[in-house]
């Protein structure tokens, strides 16, 4: 069925401006003016966020770009070449940021910077190449790449800022969708196991709700203090939840409780990863849902095996 609400619809809800995408009313912010200075700040922020979420060792200074390229091009071993390609992507991003910074400094001195300026073209080329190499980069967890993050600085460079903000709302909606999918997968398994019980449901749902609020809230928003603290405390409550076992619990029950706790912790971490990155992680989400379904089947099989005759 078609969504009855047009995508991009804006509405004031409980005194808060919100925008609608794919089932979610997302907190909306006014974009800054479309200037080189604003773009510089945006690209700097996106680059910092990128390096915060990808594997270690990629934040190579822009002045080492030539060295990074030689290391990548001369490498023949496949696994090492992937890592060196990721390091080259980092150097390219930092080179682009360096160029933008200097262009803004020149602009502040009254020098007019045209869109076809040679340095502007070089900046775009660096970001485009980094975007291509970004497919080699893994999330800090090592589970999958998040090349969506590598595309954001390039989009911020090529698009008007208001259009870039609009594109981010789409990504946030997709991130919220993954948060809900992960939470539903956990609840479908653990609320039906007596050792976890239905009471774990509200705890998981509170964490999901806190994660979605965190996902839509900018760090510059004054509400971030309440939003982040709620998110952290909600995660702590999920992590602290313990299965209910009888004093004379069987080994099979002890093993199931341990495996269940580990699976919940994995889901907790994955929701945290996508919430903080504010982009979906579709492969990891699918894999986790599959793990939940497999755990449920194994638990049901154990129940049948150990039922008294």
Q: What is the DSSP letter of 222?
A: T
Q: What is the DSSP letter of 115?
A: T
Bridge partners, residue 11, by sequence: 18
pLDDT value, residue 260: 93
Q: At a CB cut-off of 8 Å and minimum separation 6, what does 45 contact? A: none
pLDDT value, residue 112: 79
Question: What pLDDT, in 10s, does the model give residues 4-16?
Answer: 899 999 999 999 9
Q: Is 63 exposed, middle or buried (0-12, 13-18, 19+ CB in 10 A)?
A: exposed
Both tokens of residue 160? 């008007």
pTM: 0.82
CB 152 within 8 A of CB 256: no
Q: How far is CA 275 from CA 7, 208, 231, 281, in A?
A: 22, 10, 10, 10
Bridge partners, residue 5, by sequence: none
pLDDT value, residue 1: 47
- Rounded Cα distance between 259 and 296, Å, is 11
* φ and ψ at residue 19, rounded to 5 degrees: -130, 145
Q: Is 280 exposed, middle or buried (0-12, 13-18, 19+ CB in 10 A)?
A: buried
CB 283 within 8 A of CB 143: yes
Q: What is the DSSP letter of 279?
A: S
Domain residue spans of the chain: 36-158, 171-306
Positions in the chain whose pLDDT score sits under 50: 1, 308-309
Closest CA to 71 of 59, 57, 82: 82
pLDDT value, residue 309: 41
CB 252 within 8 A of CB 143: no
Max Cα separation, the chain?
88
What Rg, from alpha-carbon coordinates, does the chain have?
Answer: 23
Question: What pLDDT, in 10s, does the model give residues 111-156?
Answer: 777 777 888 888 889 988 988 888 888 877 766 666 667 778 778 7
pLDDT value, residue 304: 59
At 243, is the secondary structure helix, strand, or coil? Answer: coil
DSSP 70-99: HHHHH--SHHHHHHHHHHHHHHHHHHHHHH
Q: At a CB cut-off of 8 Å and minimum separation 6, what does 279 contact? A: 146, 148, 149, 171, 174, 175
Q: What is the DSSP letter of 285?
A: H
């Amino acid at each position: 069925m078609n969504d009855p609400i047009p995508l991009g619809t804006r509405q004031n809800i409980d005194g808060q401006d919100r925008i609608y995408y794919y089932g979610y009313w997302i907190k909306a912010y006014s974009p800054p003016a479309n200037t080189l200075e604003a773009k510089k700040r945006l690209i700097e922020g996106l680059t910092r966020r990128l390096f915060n979420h990808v594997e270690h060792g990629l934040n190579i200074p822009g002045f080492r770009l030539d060295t990074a390229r030689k290391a990548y091009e001369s490498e023949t071993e496949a696994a090492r070449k992937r890592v060196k390609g990721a390091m080259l992507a980092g150097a390219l991003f930092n080179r682009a940021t360096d160029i933008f910074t200097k262009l803004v400094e020149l602009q502040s001195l009254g020098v007019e910077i045209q869109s076809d300026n040679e340095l502007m073209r070089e900046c775009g080329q660096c970001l485009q190449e980094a975007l291509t190499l970004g497919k080699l980069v893994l999330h800090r967890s090592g589970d999958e790449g998040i090349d969506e993050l590598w595309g954001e600085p390039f989009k911020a460079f090529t698009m008007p800022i208001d259009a870039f903000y609009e594109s981010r709302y789409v990504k946030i909606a997709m991130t919220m969708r993954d948060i809900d999918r992960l939470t539903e997968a956990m609840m479908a398994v653990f609320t039906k196991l007596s050792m976890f019980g239905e009471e774990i449901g509200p705890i998981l749902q509170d964490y999901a709700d806190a994660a979605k609020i965190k996902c839509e809230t900018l760090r510059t928003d004054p509400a971030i203090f309440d939003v982040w603290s709620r998110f952290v405390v909600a995660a702590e409550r999920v992590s602290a939840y313990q299965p209910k076992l009888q004093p004379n619990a069987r080994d099979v029950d002890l093993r199931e409780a341990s495996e269940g706790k580990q699976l919940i912790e994995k889901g907790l971490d994955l929701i945290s990863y996508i919430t903080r990155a504010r982009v979906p992680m579709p492969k990891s989400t699918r894999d986790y849902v599959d793990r939940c379904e497999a755990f449920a089947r194994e638990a049901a099989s154990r129940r049948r095996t150990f039922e008294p005759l």
